[in-house]
C-alpha cells in the first residue's frame, strides 16, 4: 500500500518524506486555506519535495473551466494529479485531461456506482471518503470493499485512493481490503506507530536498564 499525506503543510510533508513515509500528497481547497498560502506557490514547493503524485484540486464547476484550471495546475510540475469532483462535469474533465496524458484524481466519491463511472472516464485515482460516510451512519469501508471487487471484476486500472481517513484502524482495514493508496493527515500516519504495550514495554526496559548502572555512550 502507498501512503499519501493529506495536507498542505510543507514542514509536515518534509518530515514524513525524510522517513520514507510519503509516496504522494493530496490537497484540497480547505487544506490550502489552512496553510494560508497561495495555491500555485505551495503546490510547487510540495512537488519539489515529493517525487510521487501531488493532487491539486480545481475549483470551477463547469467542465470547460475545470479543464482550463486543470491544465494550469498540471503545468506546475510533472507529478501533479489534477483533482476533480465526482460530478458529470468533473467526469467530462477527467476524460479530457487523462486523454491529454495528465493524472486525474476524482474526488468526493461516496458510492461504488460513482467509482465505476470514474473508472470508465479513465481516472488515475478514485477517492472514496470513508469518514464522511461513517458520519452519516453508512459504512465507508464497505464502499471501499465494493469498489475493490468491481474494479477487480473488470480489470480497471483506476487506483483506489482511500480518503477521509480518521484513524489508524481505517488504514489497517483499507490495507486488508486491498486499497491501492491511503491518504491521511500526518497525525493519523504517526498514530500508526503508537501502541500501549510498546509504551509499557519500553518503560520496563528503561527501568531495568537504569538498575544496571551501565551506559552505552
Q: What tens digit of pLDDT does each residue of 141-161 get?
A: 999 999 999 999 999 999 999
Q: Identify whether the C-beta of residue 114 lies closer than 8 Å to the C-beta of residue 146.
A: no
The enclosing domain of 45 has a CATH number of: 3.20.20.70
Q: Is residue 98 part of a domain?
A: yes
For position 99, what pLDDT does the model report? 98
CA distance 8 to 5: 9
Domain containing 140: what range?
A: 2-212
Q: Is residue 16 part of a domain?
A: yes
Q: Is residue 217 part of a domain?
A: no
Q: How many domains does the chain have?
A: 1
For position 33, what pLDDT does the model report? 94
What's the pLDDT band for 165 if we cut at 50, 70, 90? very high
User: Does 83 participate in catalysis according to the annotation?
Assistant: yes
For position 90, what pLDDT does the model report? 98
Q: Is residue 70 part of a domain?
A: yes
**Mean pLDDT in residue range 175-180:** 98
H or E segment to which residue 184 belongs? strand 181-184
Q: Is residue 21 part of a domain?
A: yes
For position 143, what pLDDT does the model report? 98
Q: For 34-51, what is each residue's pLDDT tens digit?
A: 999 999 999 999 999 999
Task: Measure the CA dihedral 73/87/27/116, to 10°.
Answer: -110
Q: Is residue 185 part of a domain?
A: yes
**What is the distance of C-alpha 12 from the center of its chain?**
15
For position 130, what pLDDT does the model report? 98
Q: By C-alpha distance, which of 114, 121, 167 is closest to 144?
A: 114
What's the pLDDT band for 111 if we cut at 50, 70, 90? very high
Task: Measure the CA dihedral 123/56/19/182, to 10°.
Answer: -40
Q: What is the CA radius of gyration of the chain?
A: 20
What's the pLDDT band for 128 if we cut at 50, 70, 90? very high
Q: Is residue 121 part of a domain?
A: yes
**What is the distance of C-alpha 157 from the center of its chain?**
17
Q: Among residues 72, 83, 92, 215, which one is catalytic?
A: 83
User: What's the full length of the chain, in residues?
Assistant: 217
Amino acid at each position: 500500500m502507498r501512503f499519501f499525506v493529506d495536507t498542505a503543510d510543507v514542514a509536515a510533508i518534509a518530515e514524513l518524506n525524510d522517513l520514507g513515509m510519503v509516496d504522494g500528497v493530496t490537497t484540497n481547497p480547505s487544506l490550502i486555506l489552512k496553510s494560508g498560502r497561495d495555491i500555485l506557490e505551495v503546490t510547487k514547493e510540495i512537488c519539489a519535495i515529493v517525487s510521487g503524485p501531488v493532487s491539486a484540486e480545481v475549483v470551477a464547476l463547469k467542465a470547460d473551466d475545470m479543464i482550463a484550471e486543470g491544465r494550469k495546475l498540471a503545468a506546475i510540475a510533472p507529478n501533479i494529479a489534477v483533482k476533480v469532483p465526482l460530478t458529470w462535469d468533473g467526469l467530462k474533465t477527467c476524460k479530457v485531461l487523462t486523454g491529454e496524458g495528465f493524472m486525474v484524481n476524482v474526488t468526493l466519491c461516496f458510492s461504488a456506482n460513482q467509482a465505476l463511472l470514474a473508472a470508465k472516464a479513465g481516472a488515475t485515482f478514485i477517492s472514496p471518503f470513508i469518514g464522511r460516510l461513517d458520519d452519516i451512519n453508512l459504512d465507508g469501508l464497505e464502499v471501499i470493499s465494493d469498489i475493490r471487487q468491481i474494479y477487480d471484476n473488470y480489470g480497471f486500472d483506476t487506483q483506489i485512493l482511500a480518503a477521509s481517513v480518521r484513524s489508524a484502524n481505517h488504514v489497517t482495514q483499507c490495507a486488508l481490503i486491498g486499497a491501492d493508496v491511503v491518504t491521511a493527515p500526518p497525525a493519523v500516519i504517526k498514530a500508526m506507530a503508537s501502541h500501549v504495550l510498546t509504551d509499557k514495554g519500553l518503560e520496563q526496559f528503561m527501568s531495568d536498564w537504569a538498575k544496571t548502572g551501565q551506559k552505552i555512550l
